[in-house]
Amino acid sequence: MNTAELLNQSIQSLASSTELAWLEDKLKADSKGLSLAFVIAPRQIAKTPVGIIPGWNWHNSTLDQLVRVYLLIHLAEKEDGKSRIETLFDTAEMNELVALYRALPVLPTPEIWLHRATDAVRSNMGPVFDAIAFGNPYPKAYFSELAWNQLVLKCIFNDKPIHLIEGLDERANQALADTLADFAHERWAAGRRVPSQVWRLIRNFQTNTKEQDLKRLQESSDPNDRIAAELIQKNSPLEAWKVLEREEKAY
């Protein structure tokens, strides 16, 4: 079952007969009509909470958002679909942008929207950033290492839940680990705690301060730091991160 079929199945199970009739009518429209339907969808479709959709990891999604994405899939298939979607991006208000960014991984040739996706990372609108960052497979599949690292770092700097980022472990890299090691020292110097999830992105890589960082975590008065140290030693594939564990056993 492809994405359009999966969305249609979910919409059919959640929408009322009136909502389904409206959607069926709009799907017959040309590209202009589909664009307009995308804009006005929340006036016709309820914000019914959506449960779990197999293979579709959306955080706090609603029926009107599903319908908007479904409309975008059909719009993208039109001859002038790309230009219409570009116009929607240029004129969208926040909730429309959220739907647009959530739709990116399921649109035809999704790589052509890379410039839009990286724009979302720079957005100061929280819901727009969250739409590309959390539960969205697009960054994992298409972002360069630099763009990926910018997304992860923005989440960490703003205390956002990085565990909701798709591909977090798979896209971890040395450059990100080095930057986060420096970030940890800056936080400590300012008397602030380092989020435990930071070490998840460092533990698979060599860093210049790994021994002193691990020792600090082990000796911290914060139990979360001590748990982080245990997880590093348990899960890191690198012997360098296990040196203190060996020393303690020898002692």
- How far is it, in rounded angstroms, from Cα 13 to Cα 138? 26
Q: For the stretch 141-163, what's the b/e string if a residue is b when 16 or more beta carbons lie within 10 angstroms of its beta carbon? A: ebbeeeebbbbbbbbbeeebebe
Contact 167, 199 (CB under 8 A): no
Q: Is the pLDDT of residue 58 over 70?
A: no
Binned at pLDDT 50, 70 and 90, residue 63 comes out as very high
- How far is it, in rounded angstroms, from Cα 12 to Cα 6? 10
pLDDT at residue 160, as a whole number: 93
Instruction: Please give, one letter per residue, the 3-state secondary structure of 191-248.
Output: CCCCCCHHHHCCCCCCCCCHHHHHHHHHCCCCHHHHHHHHHHHHHCCCHHHHHHHHHH
Task: Note the Cα 154 to chain centre separation in Å.
Answer: 12
| Average pLDDT over every residue of 104-132 | 95
Cβ neighbours of residue 176 under 8 Å, at least 6 residues apart? 148, 149, 152, 153, 201
| Average pLDDT over every residue of 192-197 | 90
| Average pLDDT over every residue of 233-251 | 67
30: tokens are 């040309």
Q: Which helix (H) or strand (E) is 168 found in, with range?
A: none
33: tokens are 């009509």
Binned at pLDDT 50, 70 and 90, residue 239 comes out as confident
Binned at pLDDT 50, 70 and 90, residue 51 comes out as confident
User: To the nearest whole number, what is the mean pLDDT of the chain?
Assistant: 91
pLDDT at residue 245, as a whole number: 54
Q: DSSP states of 137-161 as a string?
A: SHHHHH--HHHHHHHHHHHHHTT--
Q: Is the pLDDT of residue 49 over 80?
A: yes
Write down the pTM of the prediction.
0.89
Instruction: Please give, one letter per residue, the 3-state secondary structure of 9-55.
Output: HHHHHHCCHHHHHHHHHHCCCCHHHHHHHHHHHHHHCCCCECCCECC
Q: Is the pLDDT of residue 251 over 60?
A: no
Q: Is the pLDDT of residue 227 over 70?
A: yes
Q: CA-CA distances (angstroms) from residue 180 to 35, 132, 194, 237?
A: 42, 21, 10, 18
- How far is it, in rounded angstroms, from Cα 43 to Cα 64? 9
pLDDT one-digit tens code per residue, 149-189 = 999 999 999 999 999 999 999 999 999 999 999 999 999 99
C-alpha Rg value of the chain to the nearest Å:
22
Contact 172, 181 (CB under 8 A): no
Of the given ranges (144-148, 212-216, 238-242), which has the lowest mean pLDDT?
238-242
Residue of 38 and 56 predicted with greater confidence? 38
